[in-house]
Structure 1
Amino acid sequence: MSLAENIKILREKTGAGLMDCKKALVECKDDMEQAIVFLRKKGLADMAKRSDRETKEGRVSVKTDGKNYAMIYLGCETDFVAKTDAFIKLADELAQYVLEHPGLDYSADENIKAMIVEQAPKFGENTTFKGGYNWTPAEGSVMAYYVHSDNKKASILELAVIGDCKDMEKAKEIARGLAMHTVGMQSGWVDAKDIPQAVIDRELDIYKTQAINEGKPAAAIEKMLPGKVKKFAKENCLLEQPTIKDNKKTVADYLAEESKNLGCELKVVRFVRF
């Protein structure tokens, strides 16, 4: 890929200027992720999640048999191909295969590769399997999914229902609403404790560099770091994010209220999204 093409992609990901993107790519030897970090340290890139918001062309497909839930993402080069009947059919067939074959390493599965190789020539584009999941809810949990109207974003979420629930259908409705929330709010983790230390260290390094570049004293920088980490968690962790319907109420608050209404404890176990 040419430098001009990489500059275009980096500008879309960060919102930074043309020359700033060019300098970042040159400094980072065309490493896109490092270039994003470089721009953020300079204070030239948008908020932390911006780089993750780009949706590759392709299609998500979700299948369930009532017990297991499978979700895949099939990638292609253009939106035109992603909307063709043949591409949609292949995505659905791949999701059905994943549903019927739990516990495999789907990224290296030869049958998946063969299915794509057989159909890809029809599309005239590079067609890739971006990932697949097959989840089964634990005893006492409910699972739900949400697929965005563009068929490029989706989520599966497991919600534990602990105790005697007054209305399991309501619990399932809550689970689906939370799956929708993770897509709309680009949630990264369930709770702050789930954020990998490597991610926290990266964010702290960026915050420190930005503050130093702004001329802030070292003592002031150290004092502000805990607050920066909390802000990052609030923006990226499901339970700490504000609900879509009421931005003064966190998802954790919402679950506590619904738990009281249903006479049980509702707890998000896990979620995954494309």
Structure 2
Amino acid sequence: MAEIKAADVQALRKLTGAGILDAKKTLEETGGDAERAAQLLRERGVVSAAKRADRESSEGAIALSMVDNRVGALVELKCETDFVAKSTDFVNTVNEIAAAVAERGTSAADEFQEMIASLTITLKENISLGRVIRLEAADGEEVSGYLHVQADRGVNGVLVQLKNGSDELAHDLALHIAFARPSYLAIEDVPSSVVAKERETLETMTRNEGKPEAALEKIVAGRLDGLFKSICLLEQPFVKDEKHRIREVLGQATLIAFAQLVVGE
């Protein structure tokens, strides 16, 4: 049997994140073949990682990657603790995935499954790819992005696709979205079932308040507007000037699309 040196065990541990006993035992099994030992540990580590799969991965990091204001990508990598989420290896991985998605499309994220599996072993947490979003501008359009960084990792990322706008307007819209967190772009995007349920609730509430039946529709419409102002981007008061809604701030510009990823949501 080949002699297993402490330096070989340490090297294998550094490569795989395995414990000292597992590393030494596997090297003994493979006759000192470090490459084969690493493969065995990885195979066994993936099994161990599968046992972690039911743990809640409510932490993570968001990465933003842009290509010449024409393409923007947001990628979420999920984990269990903020300690892992702000680690260098974790942040570098999600940044690399986002850059690939921006350059080659959302399917590029699938190329990193093996890297994520290795990270799961090394960092000993349930780590998985979360949401992946890519916006690409057509002629006359531009894509702008914003990433709020906290504790060395992105936690709130935004993309905005704008037509006939300016860089300043696109940036202001991205900042607004990061703060206001709208769910929909326009009123017509809200599912009819959501509107119907809210209308029914408001009608019941208004009647219970003893409001006159003749005024019911007007009161309910006003209260529905309050809902739309909270969840529809175009109806929200602009954070830099709350006297005007986003649809008024746009002027001649058209907001084609927006996307937002927030850690834990």
Relative to the length of structure 1, the TM-score reads 0.65
Q: Structure 1 residues 202, 149: CA separation in 2 closer, same or farther (over 3 Å shift)?
A: farther
The residue number in structure 2 matching 1:82 is 85
Residue 57 of structure 1 contacts residue 152 of structure 1 at CA under 8 Å; is this kept in 2? no
Aligned counterpart for 2:249 among listed residues 248, 251, 254? 254
Counterpart CA distance in 1 for 2:205 and 2:87 is: 46
User: Match for 2:102: what amino acid?
Assistant: L
**Correspondence list, 1:72-221, <5 A:** 72-102=75-105, 104=107, 110-150=110-150, 151-161=154-164, 171-208=166-203
Q: Structure 1 residues 88, 209: CA separation in 2 closer, same or farther (over 3 Å shift)?
A: farther
Displacement, 1:137? 0.4
Displacement, 1:240? 1.6
User: Match for 1:273: what amino acid?
Assistant: Q
Displacement, 1:71? 0.9
Residue 66 of structure 2 contacts residue 145 of structure 2 at CA under 8 Å; is this kept in 1? no
Displacement, 1:208? 4.8
Local SS of the residue matching 1:104: helix
Relative to the length of structure 2, the TM-score reads 0.67
Higher Cα Rg, which structure: 2
Local SS of the residue matching 1:74: strand
The residue number in structure 2 matching 1:271 is 258
Displacement, 1:143? 1.1
Q: Structure 1 residues 78, 208: CA separation in 2 closer, same or farther (over 3 Å shift)?
A: farther
User: Match for 2:114: what amino acid?
Assistant: A
The residue number in structure 2 matching 1:64 is 66
Q: Structure 1 residues 202, 140: CA separation in 2 closer, same or farther (over 3 Å shift)?
A: same
Q: Structure 1 residues 119, 206: CA separation in 2 closer, same or farther (over 3 Å shift)?
A: farther
Count of aligned residue pairs for this structure pair: 201
Counterpart CA distance in 1 for 2:174 and 2:118 is: 33
Q: Deviations for 1:5-30, whole angstroms, at most 9, x for unmatched residues?
A: xxxxxxxxxxxxxxxxxxxxxxxxxx
User: Match for 2:158: what amino acid?
Assistant: S
Displacement, 1:112? 3.5
1:227 aligned onto 2:226: no
Displacement, 1:119? 1.2
The residue number in structure 2 matching 1:44 is none
Displacement, 1:249? 1.8
Counterpart CA distance in 1 for 2:135 and 2:190 is: 21
User: Match for 1:93: what amino acid?
Assistant: E
User: Match for 2:259: what amino acid?
Assistant: V
Residue 238 of structure 1 contacts residue 251 of structure 1 at CA under 8 Å; is this kept in 2? yes
Q: Deviations for 1:27-59, whole angstroms, at most 9, x for unmatched residues?
A: xxxxxxxxxxxxxxxxxxxxxxxxxxxx94211
Q: Deviations for 1:67-102, whole angstroms, at most 9, x for unmatched residues?
A: 321110111111111111011011112112222331
Counterpart CA distance in 1 for 2:198 and 2:156 is: 26
Residue 143 of structure 1 contacts residue 172 of structure 1 at CA under 8 Å; is this kept in 2? no
User: Match for 1:60: what amino acid?
Assistant: I
Displacement, 1:199? 2.5
